[in-house]
Structure 1
């Protein structure tokens, strides 16, 4: 660990940065919703989330390249690393299984944004940008995939479940 001259360890600083980013995201969503309406807030949230995810995946893959013809396990490792990098404890990725046929099943059991939206009474009408975020990851890694939501906590499921199939 490098001495940053800060009073907290670097890992604490990174956690604080992630928390602040999520807080910014929540406040931004609320501001757009109150000024321009929920449809616009949902549309812009998805657009921005896709952009950020694509950018993070692109930057990450420069340091940790994915081969031109990646195996499912190579893609899985990178996707799990991206999820942990972007979310930390704010969103809990419980499992991510990548089958040999290129199917990636992942389960998220805790989602900070949904908790905060519920607490602010803004959950109704909110559209999760999860598939846009994941599409950004695939684009940034230059991996083609069909992706779907199998279950969503927003709709009352105990956990969010996703399935992506590599092309």
Structure 2
């Protein structure tokens, strides 16, 4: 890739290239871009989350996807930012990879964090608790999480 003036400009270019790869169904190339972004910014939770997402849809990517999502959660906890966002993404990755244990832990962590406010964080998302496979997660845990959601996201 052509030289960019600074690391942030380069990352912006990589993000654009990655988006083009997705539109062109070039999954291997998209994954390579996400790996490069993580390599360039190994302390950025969002980079690990993008890598986790890219891996979660691959038949051979489940273990690495779960590891990448866990890394993002650890980074978010250590810097005190984007923890809720990272946990929601971890839940999505766990669902996509069929990992009930990680999914339930992410929901439990989201519930435990519900009262905390961070300037740099997200709200709660309902997409990953909709239409769960029967028995994938405790009904009580899902019901408790759904109580955190805005009415239009249930």
Do they fold alike, i.e. is TM over 0.5? no
Q: Per chain length, whose mean CA-contact separation is higher, i.e. which structure has more relative contact order (CA < 8 Å, sep 6+)?
A: 1
Q: Could you say which structure has the higher strand fraction?
A: 1
Q: TM-score, normalised by structure 2?
A: 0.32
Q: Could you say which structure has the higher helix fraction?
A: 2
Q: TM-score, normalised by structure 1?
A: 0.30
